[in-house]
Amino acid sequence: MNNKTYSAKASEIQKKWYIIDGAGKPLGRVAAEAAKLLKGKHKPTYSTHIDCGDHVIILNSDKVILTGDKLNKKVYTSFSGYIGGLKEVKAKDMMSKHSTRAVTIAVKGMLPKNSLGRAMLTKLRVYTGAEHEQQAQKPEIWEF
């Protein structure tokens, strides 16, 4: 009987490409699925200490919906560190002008807050329309 715990090695990991269509889906659901794919939690060979996730392409970020009254009440804040350097942007403005940034922020918040999480975020690509530039990678569509 073999009681050893399997631990993935960087050389054994095969990275695939997945497409998530965000049209008509809640922002949190899209971000959660993307984070799961970026981390590699959908694979049986998942290991916490290594980046075993796949590349993710999110399409139609402008058609992602916010449930409830989040469109009017949710506020994105950033602070530069200087006096008077607090910037606040309402979700309504963020979704109309920079919908890709709103989706990226949502996914980033669901990834680990360390160097591994930053490496995972580099494998995310978000587009406003239904077209993307990664045709050569032959991405698969991820349904949820």
The Cα angle at residue 82 between residues 78 and 86, in degrees rounded to 5 = 30
> Global pTM?
0.92
Q: How far is CA 7 from the centre of its chain?
A: 25
Q: What is the pLDDT of residues 65-122, one digit of tens each?
A: 999 999 999 999 999 999 999 999 999 999 999 999 999 999 999 999 999 999 999 9
Grade residue 10 by pLDDT with cuts at 50, 70 and 90: confident
pLDDT of residue 5: 83
- Helical segments of 1-144, H only: 27-39, 70-73, 91-97, 99-108, 115-121
**What are the domain boundaries of the chain?**
17-66+98-141
Q: What percent of the chain has pLDDT over 70?
A: 99
pLDDT of residue 1: 64
Grade residue 128 by pLDDT with cuts at 50, 70 and 90: very high
Grade residue 7 by pLDDT with cuts at 50, 70 and 90: confident
Q: Can you name the residues that pair with 88 across neighbouring β-strands?
A: 77
Grade residue 4 by pLDDT with cuts at 50, 70 and 90: confident
Please state, in angstroms and rounded to a whole number, the distance separating the CA atoms of residues 118 and 31.
15
CATH number of 17-66+98-141: 3.90.1180.10
